[in-house]
Amino acid sequence: MKIALTGGIACGKSLLSSYLNSFGIETLDADDIVHELIPAEERRRIASVIFGDKAARKALEARIHPLVRSRLEAWEDGAAEGSIRLSVIPLLFEVHWDGKYDIICCVASKRENQIARMVATRGYSREDAEARLAAQMPVCEKAARSQYIIQNDGTAEELRMKAQAFADWLKEIRNGRRT
């Protein structure tokens, strides 16, 4: 069973992943793979260009995405019997990898919450936050194309409880008790 987690920027994918890990779901984040491939200082320089230049962004993605896909596939295929592995892929639908997964979960937030989080926790200006949102598919579209949706507009504890429910659901499917 191949499982992916997606969602918009600042919707809580990383926090949700950490909760899922604590509940026995193994995760690998495509962003972490990108961070291994491109040093932090270069990522900052690139970000200042690609979020305003669609052609530059597409050229970079054409080089990076095959490397990320290859790493994810190797990790997914290496799962131990009975384990549950979930790939965290923020741009799952944008890169058309959704057909490779049996279950897609989308973590979603209201647009204003996304912007507020980017400003508060990442130090972006409102304009930078808006540019990043404009570069991605709207989270409502991602949610509409997913089998499981986690709405994250509340507290971290509320998200933890939703992560537990999702982990339990995945374990029931793995054990053949739910479809």
User: pLDDT for 96-151, tens place per residue?
Assistant: 999 999 999 999 999 999 999 999 999 999 999 998 898 889 999 999 999 999 99
Does residue 160 lie in a domain region?
A: yes
pTM summary value: 0.90
Does residue 178 lie in a domain region?
A: no
pLDDT at 177 over 70: no
Using CA atoms, how far residue 139 sits from 83, 134, 154, in Å, is 29, 11, 17
Does residue 61 lie in a domain region?
A: yes
Does residue 22 lie in a domain region?
A: yes
Structure-token pair, residue 173: 């499917």
Does residue 158 lie in a domain region?
A: yes
How many structural domains are present in the chain? 1
The pLDDT, as a whole number, for residue 73 is 97
Using CA atoms, how far residue 1 sits from 65, 85, 107, 117, in Å, is 22, 9, 20, 33
Q: Provide the residue range defining the domain that includes 12.
A: 3-172
**CATH code, domain carrying 30:** 3.40.50.300
Structure-token pair, residue 143: 């949610």
Does residue 177 lie in a domain region?
A: no
